[in-house]
Amino acid sequence: MSHEKSAERTPPKRRRRLFTLKNKRHMPAWLGWLLARLVGLYGWTFRVRYDDPDGWLESGSPWPVVMPIWHNRFVFLATVAPKALLKRVTVLISASRDGEYISTLIRFFGVDVVRGSSSRGGMQATRTMLQKLKDGQMIVVTVDGPRGPRYTVHPGAVALASLGKVAVLPTAVNAENCWQLKSWDGTQIPKPFSKVTLKFGKPFFLDDEETRETGVEKIRQALLAITDDSGAN
């Protein structure tokens, strides 16, 4: 009987749970810092070149601009863009859980972040970004995010450029050799020591008379013209 009573009194052993981001709304700061350092070190292996036929990087004109980029190329933008440019960049990132992870990571590259999307906090985010443009910040927008479809343009970038009276600067990060994930956007991860090109299209202004649909299509065609997926595998 004594053995049975002692067995009953012994609390069951708890299983040690491994750390996971599943069901966590926020990424711990230490993990964001670590991932940013790893991504930065990985980026050092790239052979980076700039393709800027209109000389925007050197002249800095027009400024500020709205910089549209595809969602699947955004992750490594901070590793290939000049550091001096990153200090003057504000990135629009969705208010979703995934957006929270990305914003935690990207802030460690010294990039300013505004949270919001068409479904959550869109109006407040628009007002904040318009003020950022007035303050001289460049706005980066993943125009097919946060849900796609891939290589479509949502009207947010059109509204920002039109309301802010600023130019649109189409931008792409093209890897000569990269892995492409099986996600909705086909996220591209450049392979180590591959050539990665930060390519700029010709800056342009949207006409006041243009419809939203016309502006969306103009940005889409400008981005497709500088997008190179030949290295994806």
pTM over 0.75: yes
On whether residue 119 sits in a domain, the answer given is yes
In a domain, 89, yes or no: yes
In a domain, 118, yes or no: yes
Strand partners, 107: none
Higher pLDDT pick, 126 / 27: 126
- Cα–Cα distance measured from residue 123 to residue 94, given in angstroms and rounded to the nearest whole number: 13
DSSP state of 72: G
Q: What is the DSSP letter of 2?
A: H
User: At 211, phi and psi to the nearest 5?
Assistant: -75, 165
CA–CA separation, 10 and 141 (whole Å): 57
Q: pLDDT-derived band of residue 22, with 50, 70 and 90 as boundaries?
A: low
120 domain-assigned? yes
d(CA 230, CA 233): 8
Q: What is the pLDDT of residues 67-91, one digit of tens each?
A: 999 999 998 999 999 999 999 999 9
CA 137 – CA 131 distance, rounded (Å): 9
Q: Please tell me the predicted confidence (pLDDT) of residue 17.
A: 54
Asked if residue 182 is part of any domain, the answer here is yes
Q: Is the pLDDT of residue 1 over 60?
A: no
Query: Residue 16: pLDDT band by 50, 70, 90 thresholds?
Result: low
Q: Is residue 11 part of a domain?
A: no
User: Cα(71)–Cα(42) distance, rounded to whole angstroms?
Assistant: 20
Pick from 172, 220, 178: which is nearest to 198 by CA?
172
pLDDT, tens digit, 9 for 90 and up, residues 114-151: 998 756 667 889 999 999 999 999 999 999 988 899 99
Per-residue pLDDT, 119: 60
Residue 95 confidence (pLDDT): 79
Instruction: Determine the structural domain holding residue 120 and report its residue range.
Output: 49-226
Residues 6+ apart with CB under 8 A from 133: 64, 66, 139, 160, 164, 166
Instruction: Give the C-alpha separation, 16 to 13, whole Å.
Output: 9
Is residue 231, in this structure, part of any structural domain at all?
Answer: no
Average pLDDT, the chain: 89
pLDDT band at 172 (very low <50, low <70, confident <90, very high): very high
Find the angle CA(78)-CA(82)-CA(84) to the nearest 5 degrees.
Answer: 110
Tally the domains of the chain.
1
| Coil vs helix vs strand at 37 | helix
Q: Is residue 107 assigned to a domain?
A: yes
Residue 4 has pLDDT above 70, yes or no: no
Length reported for the chain: 233
